Chains A and B, each alone.
Chain A
């Protein structure tokens, strides 16, 4: 039988119309490609959401950390203690922050005006020219604003000691520690 078989017949003749293992089954590739596209789309979407939310958590936690460092036991003895805590907070480098104190009114008829990010720096409380303000960036070069990315604002009530320079009267009044973080 082997003798009857032509010797120099090309191999091609036995696989006529064969496009290859993938090309031969072209219709089955469509759902495969569609599935792959869906997978990579959802994968990218998930990755973006994961990244976005992780960043938001980092910022939300950072603002609490700055707040906790500065407020300590919710009691400040004065500007010296504030500056000391400010130095501690300045070691945090993963986020930019600005923080300071605003007076809280506890008398009748007083209304808290709210926080205005544009004027916050000027509004921060000062005693005899010494302002209760702390930041880990040079505020003359960069200030937080509504256009800042990942802007977070949190406030914490805190008690601050005072001594009236005229009468020598000692008292404690409520203040609001405002913490702003941005990237």
Chain B
């Protein structure tokens, strides 16, 4: 009994401490993404640009034009990728904006990778892939959450701006979410269901 106690002692606590760190990182990353600035001039860095704006303000402005995040999608991706890069070797993640009233997604970015393979006794990590997805419903995305198992989600509420045909501004409420999890391969069928399109392939580093 003592032996059993010794071998199991602290495993739950260890898992909780690790999970707490994942949550801390996800929360910090989400807040940093929402706070961070971006240059108004494409291709310039924050240090050299003459005009900056909050990234979130630029995203809202983009959304206000036609209810989609198109022009700022790449900048948003670069920011998310940059902030998640320190933990990317050990975690997969997704980031999305979900509009409650319209029940649709304004932006979904998924960072995932296939399971590592063993070749001649050496583990070969597969390339990471970034997808832009457009699930039809929140339930579709929940299928993904069920598939990945234990995850560390972090979310917040924001308001977008939309201009109606009569030039009346509206402020649709939305959820912004960043979830990270231990890498778990996602099958291509599910990616199809989520209407995912491959945006970038990041080669594995060893």
Contacts and interface: CB of A to CB of B under 8 A. Distances in A.
Interface of A: 42-43, 45-46, 49-50, 53-54, 56-57, 60-61, 64, 67-68, 71, 73-75, 104-108, 110-112, 114-115, 154-159, 162, 164, 167, 169-174, 176
Contacts of A106: 36, 78-79, 81-83
Interface in B48-64: 49-52, 54
B13 A107 contact: no
Q: Is the interface of A mostly helix, strand, loop or mixed?
A: mixed
A100 B78 CA distance: 24
A74 B14 CA distance: 24
Interface string B1-18: 011011101100110010
Given A50-B9, A67-B24, A169-B50, A111 B17 contact: no
Among A50, A53, A108, A173: residue with most chain B CB under 10 A: A173
Interface residues on B, range: 35 or more
A174 B81 CA distance: 12
Nearest to A45: B6
B86 interface: yes
B206 to A, nearest CB: 11
Contact of A156 (B2, B3, B25): B25
B45 interface: yes
Contact of B86 (A50, A57, A112, A172): A112
B83 A157 contact: yes
Given A53-B10, A61-B17, A73 B31 contact: yes
B100 interface: no
Nearest to A159: B35
Nearest to B205: A111
18 contacts: A45-B6, A50-B6, A57-B13, A64-B21, A71-B28, A74-B31, A106-B78, A106-B81, A112-B82, A156-B28, A159-B31, A159-B35, A169-B49, A169-B51, A170-B52, A171-B46, A172-B35, A172-B54
A76 to B, nearest CB: 10
Contacts, number: 113
Contacts of B47: 164
Contact of A104 (B25, B45, B54, B85): B85
B20 interface: yes
B27 interface: yes
B177 interface: no
A109 to B, nearest CB: 9
Nearest to B7: A49
Contacts of B24: 64, 67-68, 156
B37 interface: yes
A112 B89 CA distance: 11
B199 interface: no
A42 B37 contact: no
A159 B3 contact: no
Contacts of B45: 107
